[in-house]
Amino acid sequence: MEQVNVKIFAEPDTQISLEDAIPVFHRWIQKRDLPELLIDVTDYSHVIAGPGVLLIGHEANYSLDNGRNELGVLYNRKAKVEGDSLKQAYEAALNAAQRLEQEQEFQGKLKFRHDEVEVTLNDRMLHPNTEEGWAAVRGEIEAFLDGLFEAGRYSVQRPTDPRERLWVRARRTN
Amino acid sequence: MKASNSQWKDHLVGKIEPGLASEIDAFDSEIALKKQGKMEDKVFAETRLRRGAYGQRYDNGQRHDGLESRRLAYANPNTKGPTTLWDAPGMQRIKIPFGGLNATQLEVMAELAEEYSDGIAHVTTRQDVQLHFIHIEDTPTIMRRLAAVGITTREACGNTVRNVTSCPLSGVCRDQAFDVTPYAKATAYFLLGHPDTQDFGRKFKVAFSGCGDNPCALVRIHDLGCVAKIKDGKRGFEVYVGGGLGTVPYVAKLYTEFLPQEELLPLAQAMSRVFARLGEKKNRNTARMKFLVVKLGLEEFKRLVEEERKILTPDPRWTSFLDGIENQQETPLRDPGLLQIENAQPEDFRAWRETNVYPQRQAGYATVTVALPLGDLTADQLRALADIARKYVNETIRTTVEQNIVLRWVSEIDLPSVYSELKAVGLHLAGAGTITDTVACPGTDTCKLGISSSRGLAGELRMHMAENGAAGNDAIRNLRIKVSGCFNSCGQHHIADLGFYGVSRNKGGFAAPHFQVVLGGQWTENAGSYGLAIGAVPSKRVPEAADRILARYTKERTEGESFQAFIRRIGKAECKKMLEDLMVMPLHSEDTSLYSDWHDPREYTTGDMGIGECAGEVVSPLEFQMTASEREVFEAQLAFEAGDLPKASKLAYDSMARAATAMLVWNKSFYINSPDGVVEAFRKEFHDTQLFFDPFAGGKFAHYYFHAHELLGQERTAESAHRLIEEAQLFIEACHSCVGRMTAVPVKG
């Protein structure tokens, strides 16, 4: 799979200012301790249900995302990955989530959930949002989710609007 | 770069108009040639610009991260233009002639924003759409996917005919002479790729307005502006030429009071030929048509255009679009209906209706403005808007020069439902066309030329005005705020009631972001006159500056007095007095908060500059003299305001000479008294060495000074005196920038 995006969601009713991510992401650029070449920070906190604040990188973007009014950390892989691209994207998103929780701006205010994840394949040509498109990647995605939540212990949601990208949202069930 | 690019090429074969397809194929080949090192940077840069693929900030591979300037370590050393790295993200501008879009086109833009950009489509002040953070190798696919739904990015940038803009209300406007939409469309596609428009020294902008009074199309800031007019029952246009904002704004001049509609395209063609033949080619800073019109004089320009018109080979396209044009009109999807204003309606709906709904000339229909904060909307919002446009109107969608989108032909009875569906996706913001509907160019967010954060400031002012209840204050609610990140005016600050443009100032060796406050610009009458700068305020203090000006206007305006009239009455000296204390910068050691910009905590720099080692000791005398030169240029404005043109001209010149002298003293301890001597030394020490050259504008600002010196003592018209003052202000700004560059520390790896 290519162009894998992974979003990890924040706890519901989290009260933070998206703008607080701006200095955090600038610090991440200064420290240069993420694997990607980090370029700049861009702020869309003024857009309702938008992409929030993005840390633009060459190989991938990180963002404190508010798409569909659901706060989360989003890892948007742009460059090709050698090996398991889904695992790579998930680990990068998880790493970003853990870092954000530790940042002074968010300490005690921002917690990410580990019972739900959204995977988006950001290329409609390679991964069309159709039954065929889903069938082509289903095995790989389910294997990943089985590892994350245990087989049979999660529910899956897929887009109802065919214009959207192929995405899968999985939530652990009890 | 996407692995799917080649698949898209195959997938879209036969789905793109052949001319556009071969044009994009050619660009694909040029990319391949450039990658093989078989194309010069300069040539490739112009070729990609002509396809709308623009550079973006930091694409030279250098960025100040708040601690130091560092190289962005792209592995690929290739370039896509002089000092522009191949892998550095860029911007794709998408031309939208007259702002017209349909639902499918919105959906494709949503896809592109998601797959290639940052999830946002940005509406510009010239009705274009821009996508940012694009890889150059993805641009042909983006172009193909757009071309498959009838959109071309061809000639969106570069020295070409840019997007032909038009009043977004044309056809439904209550004040129009007639609908200019088909004329704008015909002009856009007639000039697109036309052999006579391929050899310009600079860009060429065209706009159409349905009436002369409303500002929706801003024809008077364009190279060619056409206002609909009916004479003796025949359609035609009042034509303006040679307008433009840019560093020094020019109000377009009346070319003819009436041009018959049949002559519209021939005139545009003849004008293009004259511009291509006689326009400046070497010095891009004087290459816009406004300079040619001034250089030749309007009458000579007209004579040349008319001569050219006579020898044009007739082209059937000149008139073929006119067949049945008077009966062309969009059709509504739903029956008209009237919606009474009722107290039972929710307050938020009523507030939205008051500012965002325009009753059309066609009874029972309204045009709805979807207010976009800073011109931004998401992919999800684009799709939702497409759904709404299919459900309630016949996909009659337009972008606007105020960075919004309008839906035309909404049956009034549907307004509550449309509002509700917009609200569901966060597109229900009220205040369209009011003081909270701030406009901004990209500025330092993504533009290579940005000096201060225009989007940061505009966003802050938008929130600030909303929180202060400015929209509820009848005196100020309809004023316009426009912000540019630099002197180039992409945010159209010259024609705002409150305009701001980004500048920098140095204090004790530290740079701080500022905005020049520009008051008295005229938004109405198609941007009929421009404002003048009254002084630079630190970025973070601009909201307070705006509050003071607005409070004073609210309190002291006389009945019916417009903001422009008020500013004229109290005078610029009084305006400056209101803000003077805000202009005084604390030292960096006293307060660092003013040394960073809005929504960007990094220590502010210009062009990734740092602090000179000796700056603290030697800058102070310079600062003193620069302050004095700013005072002089301000006094020049006051003299101009009082109608004393000789005094205004002298003061403007003196301010330049003082700044030049200060630079010479600072740099080489030259003390020269004679005006000729200062010019000569400045030319030698700063111009010929290129020390004074702006990274993008080159030696333009030095030439303002040299030119003013050449004309010293000559009588000036009001227009040329006004321009001299503008040029003096810019020369002084360039001196500040030059000091910043010369005190920079080297970039670290």
Q: Is the distance from CB of B181 to CB of B219 less than 8 angstroms?
A: no
Sign of the Cα pseudo-torsion (B301, B307, B311, B316, in order): positive
Residue B337 lies in a domain: no
Residue B577 lies in a domain: yes
**What pLDDT, on the 0 to 100 scale, is given for residue B611?**
29
Clarify whether residues B550 and B563 are in a common domain: yes
Clarify whether residues B575 and B670 are in a common domain: no
Residue B119: closest C-alpha in chain A: A51
pLDDT tier, B614 (very low <50, low <70, confident <90, very high otherwise): very low
Between residues 450 and 469 of chain B, which touch chain A (CB distance below 8 Å)?
455-456, 459, 462
Element (H, E) at B463: helix B454-467
Residue B429 lies in a domain: no
Measured distance CA(B243)–CA(B289) in Å, rounded = 8
Q: Collect all residues with Cβ–Cβ distance below 8 Å to B742 and sequence separation of at least 6.
A: B612, B667, B691
Tell me how many domains chain B contains.
Answer: 5
Cα B602 to Cα A21, B89, B432, B506, B613: the distances in Å are: 13, 21, 32, 16, 20
Chain B contact set for A49 (CB, 8 A):
378, 380-381, 425-426
Clarify whether residues B244 and B390 are in a common domain: no
Q: Map residue B529 onto helix, strand or coil.
A: strand
Clarify whether residues B368 and B459 are in a common domain: no
Task: Choose from B7, B120, B149, B460 for mutation: most chain A CBs within 10 A.
Answer: B120
Task: Please give, one letter per residue, the 3-state secondary structure of B368-421.
Answer: EEECCHHHEEEHHHHHHHHHHHHHHCCCCEEECCCCCEEEEEEEHHHHHHHHHH
Greatest CA separation for chain B: 78
**Which of B378, B399, B424 is a domain's end point?**
B424
**What pLDDT, on the 0 to 100 scale, is given for residue B608?**
44
Q: Is the distance from CB of B94 to CB of B146 less than 8 angstroms?
A: yes
Position B237, amino acid: F
- Tens of pLDDT along B694-713? 877 888 999 999 999 999 88
Clarify whether residues B508 and B376 are in a common domain: no
Measured distance CA(B392)–CA(B382) in Å, rounded = 15
Please tell me which residue, B192 or B744, carries the higher pLDDT value: B192
Task: Choose from B107, B115, B748 for mutation: most chain A CBs within 10 A.
Answer: B115
Measured distance CA(B379)–CA(A168) in Å, rounded = 18
Chain B contact set for A23 (CB, 8 A):
601
Residue B292 lies in a domain: yes
Clarify whether residues B80 and B206 are in a common domain: no
Clarify whether residues B263 and B374 are in a common domain: no
Encoding tokens for residue B614? 């000796």
Q: Taking the CB of residue B472, how many other CB atoms lie within 10 A of it? A: 10
Chain A contact set for B4 (CB, 8 A):
123, 125-126
Q: Is the distance from CB of B637 to CB of B534 less than 8 angstroms?
A: yes
- Tens of pLDDT along B81-90? 988 999 999 9
Please tell me which residue, B359 or B286, carries the higher pLDDT value: B359
Q: Collect all residues with Cβ–Cβ distance below 8 Å to B684 and sequence separation of at least 6.
A: none
Closest to B380 measured CA to CA, from B622, B24, B110: B110
Backbone φ/ψ region at B607: left (φ over 0), alpha (ψ -120 to 50), beta: left
Whether B615 has a pLDDT exceeding 60, the answer reads: no
Extended beta strands in B205-303, E state? 206-209, 224-231, 234-241, 253-260
Query: What is the rounded radius of gyration, in angstroms, for the C-alpha atoms of chain B?
Result: 26
Position B409, amino acid: W
Q: Which of B110, B111, B601 sits opposite A22 (nearest CB)?
A: B601
Minimal C-alpha gap between B445 and chain A (Å)? 7
Closest to B526 measured CA to CA, from B735, B306, B220: B220
Mean pLDDT check: name the lowest of A25-39, B295-309, B596-610.
Answer: B596-610
Q: Judge: B380–A163 Cβ closer than 8 Å, yes or no.
A: no
Chain B contact set for A164 (CB, 8 A):
383
Measured distance CA(B428)–CA(B711) in Å, rounded = 54
Write the CATH number for B491. 3.30.413.10
Q: Which of B2, B425, B462 sits opposite A123 (nearest CB)?
A: B2
Measured distance CA(B306)–CA(B266) in Å, rounded = 10
Whether B377 and chain A come into contact, CB under 8 Å, resolves to: yes
Element (H, E) at B725: helix B718-742
Q: Which of A43, A48, A51 sits opposite B599 (nearest CB)?
A: A43
Chain B contact set for A41 (CB, 8 A):
600
Closest to B67 measured CA to CA, from B594, B601, B508: B601
Chain B contact set for A37 (CB, 8 A):
72-74
Clarify whether residues B277 and B382 are in a common domain: no
- The mean per-residue pLDDT over the stretch B6-23 comes to 94
Q: Is the distance from CB of B469 to CB of B461 less than 8 angstroms?
A: no
Whether B617 has a pLDDT exceeding 90, the answer reads: no
**What pLDDT, on the 0 to 100 scale, is given for residue B618?**
33
**Angle at A86 (CA atoms; ends A113, A126), nearest 5 degrees:** 125
Minimal C-alpha gap between B180 and chain A (Å)? 33
- Tens of pLDDT along B237-286? 999 999 998 777 888 999 999 999 999 999 999 999 999 999 998 887 78
- The mean per-residue pLDDT over the stretch B199-203 comes to 90
Closest to B519 measured CA to CA, from B459, B597, B452, B578: B578
Tell the residue number behind the tokens 């610090």, with chain if given: A27
Residue B331 lies in a domain: no
Cα B111 to Cα A86, A163, A164, B3, B703: the distances in Å are: 22, 8, 8, 16, 46
Q: Taking the CB of residue B601, how many other CB atoms lie within 10 A of it? A: 14
The burial class, CB within 10 Å (0-12 / 13-18 / 19+), for B445 is: buried
Tell the residue number behind the tokens 């490739």, with chain if given: B44
Mean pLDDT check: name the lowest of B64-73, B90-99, B420-429, B620-629.
Answer: B620-629
**Could you tell me whether strands B397-399 and B405-411 are parallel, antiparallel, or unpaired per DSSP bridges?**
antiparallel
**Which of B389, B424, B459 is a domain's end point?**
B424
Strand order in the sheet with B165-166: B165-166, B206-209, B224-231, B234-241, B253-260
pLDDT tier, B748 (very low <50, low <70, confident <90, very high otherwise): low
Element (H, E) at B618: helix B615-641
Q: Taking the CB of residue B581, how many other CB atoms lie within 10 A of it? A: 10
Minimal C-alpha gap between B45 and chain A (Å)? 21
Q: Name the average pLDDT for chain B.
A: 91
Clarify whether residues B548 and B579 are in a common domain: yes
Residue B154 lies in a domain: no
**Angle at B348 (CA atoms; ends B344, B354), nearest 5 degrees:** 90
Clarify whether residues B403 and B469 are in a common domain: no
Please tell me which residue, B43 or B425, carries the higher pLDDT value: B425
**What pLDDT, on the 0 to 100 scale, is given for residue B563?**
93
pLDDT tier, B580 (very low <50, low <70, confident <90, very high otherwise): very high
Minimal C-alpha gap between A126 and chain B (Å)? 6
Of all residues in chain B, what percent carry a pLDDT higher than 70? 96
Q: Judge: A50–B107 Cβ closer than 8 Å, yes or no.
A: no
- Tens of pLDDT along B480-528? 999 999 888 899 898 899 999 999 998 888 899 999 999 978 766 655 5
Q: Judge: B115–A122 Cβ closer than 8 Å, yes or no.
A: yes
**Which of B544, B579, B608 is a domain's end point?**
B608
Chain B contact set for A47 (CB, 8 A):
120, 373, 376-378, 426
pLDDT tier, B629 (very low <50, low <70, confident <90, very high otherwise): confident
- Tens of pLDDT along A45-90? 999 999 999 999 999 999 999 999 999 999 999 999 999 999 999 9
Minimal C-alpha gap between B67 and chain A (Å)? 7
Q: How many CB pairs under 8 A join A and B?
A: 111
- The mean per-residue pLDDT over the stretch B536-550 comes to 97
The string of DSSP letters for B137-176 reads GGHHHHHHHHHTTT---TTSSSSSB-PPEE-TTTTT-SS-
User: What are the backbone dihedrals phi and psi of residue B514, each rounded to the nearest 5 degrees, phi first?
Assistant: -135, 170
Write the CATH number for B692. 1.20.120.330
What spatial distance separates the first Cα and last Cα of chain A, rounded to whole Å? 29
Clarify whether residues B557 and B651 are in a common domain: no
Residue B281 lies in a domain: yes
Clarify whether residues B96 and B75 are in a common domain: yes
How many alpha carbons lie under 13 Å from residue B209 in its C-beta half-sphere? 25
Q: Judge: B4–A123 Cβ closer than 8 Å, yes or no.
A: yes
- The mean per-residue pLDDT over the stretch B193-214 comes to 91
Whether B107 and chain A come into contact, CB under 8 Å, resolves to: yes
Alpha helices in A15-105 (DSSP H): 21-31, 85-102
Write the CATH number for B46. 3.30.70
Of all residues in chain B, what percent carry a pLDDT higher than 90? 72
pTM summary value: 0.89
Measured distance CA(B551)–CA(B554) in Å, rounded = 5
Task: Choose from A123, A129, A167 for mutation: most chain B CBs within 10 A.
Answer: A123
The alpha carbon of residue B644 and the mean position of all alpha carbons in its chain are separated, in whole angstroms, by 32
Residue B152 lies in a domain: no
- For chain A, the residues whose C-beta falls within 8 A of a C-beta of chain B are 2-3, 19, 22-23, 26, 29-30, 37, 39-44, 46-51, 54, 56, 58, 61, 67-69, 78, 80, 122-126, 161, 163-165
Measured distance CA(B80)–CA(B75) in Å, rounded = 14
- Tens of pLDDT along B285-309? 788 999 999 999 999 999 999 999 9
Whether B562 has a pLDDT exceeding 50, the answer reads: yes
Whether B596 has a pLDDT exceeding 90, the answer reads: yes
Encoding tokens for residue B584? 């005084």
Q: Judge: B11–A125 Cβ closer than 8 Å, yes or no.
A: yes
The burial class, CB within 10 Å (0-12 / 13-18 / 19+), for A11 is: exposed
Q: Map residue B704 onto helix, strand or coil.
A: helix
Whether B600 and chain A come into contact, CB under 8 Å, resolves to: yes
Tell the residue number behind the tokens 């008319």, with chain if given: B306
- The mean per-residue pLDDT over the stretch A120-138 comes to 98
Q: Judge: A39–B89 Cβ closer than 8 Å, yes or no.
A: yes
- Say what angle helices B289-296 and B264-278 make with each other, to 10 degrees: 80
- Tens of pLDDT along B20-67? 999 999 999 899 989 988 888 988 998 899 999 999 999 999 999 998
Domain that holds residue B74: 5-147
Q: Judge: B57–A3 Cβ closer than 8 Å, yes or no.
A: no
Chain B contact set for A54 (CB, 8 A):
118
Backbone φ/ψ region at B57: left (φ over 0), alpha (ψ -120 to 50), beta: beta
Encoding tokens for residue B57? 């900030």
Q: Judge: B66–A163 Cβ closer than 8 Å, yes or no.
A: no
pLDDT tier, B624 (very low <50, low <70, confident <90, very high otherwise): low
